[in-house]
Amino acid sequence: MGQVVKYIVLIYGILNLYHVLFAIVGFFTRPRPLPKARKDHSYAIVISARNEERVIGHLLDSIRLQDYDPSLLRVFVVADNCSDGTASLCREKGAIVYERHDPEHARKGWALEYLFEQIDRDYGIESVDGYLFFDADNLLAKNYVTEINKAFDQCGDIAVGYRNTKNFDTNFISAAYGFHFYQSTMYLHRPRNFFHLSTHIAGTGYVVASSILKDGWHWTCLTEDTQFCLTQIAQGRKIQYCESAEFFDEQPYTVPVMLRQRLRWVKGRLACFFIIFPKLIAGMFRCKERKFSCYDMFFYILPNAIISVIYSALSLVIFAATGIAASGVRGFILTDIPAALPALLKGLGASWLSLAVVGALLAIRERPHIRCSGGKLALYTLLWPFFDIIGPFIALASLFMRVRWKPIRHDRDIAIGELEATGKR
């Protein structure tokens, strides 16, 4: 049995070997500048908000400050089961607001489904060229729409911008989220763009052609962004990465909220995997131009944390069976387990150190984007490995827990001007 496990691990490693090339390219290459767009496209900006009165005003202000023709931008907000002044604040700032009250279906995917139904009824979904998706806590760099328009003009389907963290320096938890998304940039988005491959979207900061959404929004699982993304790639569409289109996202900074969100991520991605992986496998053979993207996305959505749990469980079973066969139950408990503890601690330390090295590379490569002092950044680089190390434990818990979507409270009262001021070096 041990040999079988080793062969499975070896095959899995070979199939993922291309990620080594991705890592090298992501660290050493610079993004290719996109050509000027042939057309300034018209966009509707869609925002799903639930009791976001404290932060959504800053997002709407950052939209108003865009260096893009304002007549080509229209803002729609779905105030989803709100009990505060979110709706009235958005109307005051010029957004078109639809209020939704459906506590039984309080989830972003359902809120977006409702919003597109209203847009289709009142304006027509294809009345604009594309839809820009944001969360209420986001902020946009002043040239975001101008830059994402270049990518959209080039690919015509879907494009996603550079996700930065607006509260990186709050504490080691928000910083760990920042490292997590910088890791996606360096290891996934940037190399895929270099090789002209499709990338993925994660939550927010992306644009979709209205023709793709002409029948509305119908992706409503716990991680609706992943469900939508993988569906489009399986159908042969390309998601273009645009590093010059920078936007900012507020990250959790408390342990309970972090655990709740990551449980939802794991549970939602697992559901997406079982729904969509057959289509991705079919796409590897059927798609004319996106075969490798389907292959790449199959491994992106593969529940690696759960696979890690299964592998660890099998290793423990093999270790226990071997120890009991050689030493008996008493000898295994009194001798073999204590003898294995140093090796376990050594392995944990090696994992922590390797992730800290990854963090250092990320800090070096993404430093111009990180709003944080050098001292704090050094400390957070040493602490961030906990984020990845607890991943398998969160995955294990998700298998036995009922996970429901719950809103995350956003309270980092930061305007785009403050971020741009601290970003100057």
Residue-by-residue DSSP string for 69-136: -GGGEEEEEEEES--SSHHHHHHHTT-EEEEE--GGG-SHHHHHHHHHHHHHHHT-GGGSSEEEEEET
Give the angle subtended at the CA of 6 by the CAs of 5 and 12, to the nearest 5°. Answer: 90
Rg (CA), the chain: 23
Strands (E), 229-359: 239-249
Helix (H) or strand (E) holding 285: helix 255-286
Task: Give yes or no for a contact between 276 and 230, defined as CB atoms under 8 angstroms apart.
Answer: yes
* Residue 408 banded pLDDT, cuts 50, 70, 90: confident
d(CA 187, CA 247): 19
**From residue 328, how far is each of 315, 331, 337, 360 by CA, in Å?**
18, 5, 12, 46
Can you say whether residue 58 is alpha, beta or left, with left for phi > 0 and alpha for psi between -120 and 50 degrees?
Answer: alpha
| Sequence letter at residue 391 | G
- Residue 269 structure tokens: 């991605």
User: pLDDT tens for residues 95-111?
Assistant: 999 999 998 888 899 99
Domains and their CATH numbers in the chain: 11-301 (3.90.550.10)
User: pLDDT tens for residues 232-244?
Assistant: 999 999 999 999 9
Task: Give yes or no for a contact between 60 and 95, defined as CB atoms under 8 angstroms apart.
Answer: yes
Is residue 6 scored above 90 in pLDDT?
Answer: no
| pLDDT computed for residue 5 by the predictor | 65
Average pLDDT over residues 267-292: 88
Task: Give yes or no for a contact between 105 and 221, defined as CB atoms under 8 angstroms apart.
Answer: no
| pLDDT computed for residue 425 by the predictor | 42
* Residue 20 banded pLDDT, cuts 50, 70, 90: very high
The closest alpha carbon to 413, from 83, 139, 142, belongs to: 139
User: pLDDT tens for residues 333-384?
Assistant: 767 677 778 877 888 899 999 999 999 999 999 999 999 999 999 999 999 9
Give helix 224-234 / helix 108-122 axis angle, nearest 10°. 70
SS3 assignment, position 139: strand
Is residue 328 scored above 90 in pLDDT?
Answer: no
Contacts of 227 (CB under 8 A, 6+ apart): 109, 219, 220, 221, 268, 272, 275, 276
| pLDDT computed for residue 246 by the predictor | 97
Task: Report how far Cα 219 is from the mean position of its chain's Cα atoms.
Answer: 16
Considering only the C-alpha atoms of the chain, give the largest distance between any 2 of them, rounded to a whole number of Å: 78
Task: Give yes or no for a contact between 79 and 100, defined as CB atoms under 8 angstroms apart.
Answer: yes
**pTM tops 0.75:** yes
d(CA 136, CA 214): 24
CA dihedral 58, 261, 79, 57 (to 10 degrees): -10
The closest alpha carbon to 67, from 153, 140, 145, belongs to: 145
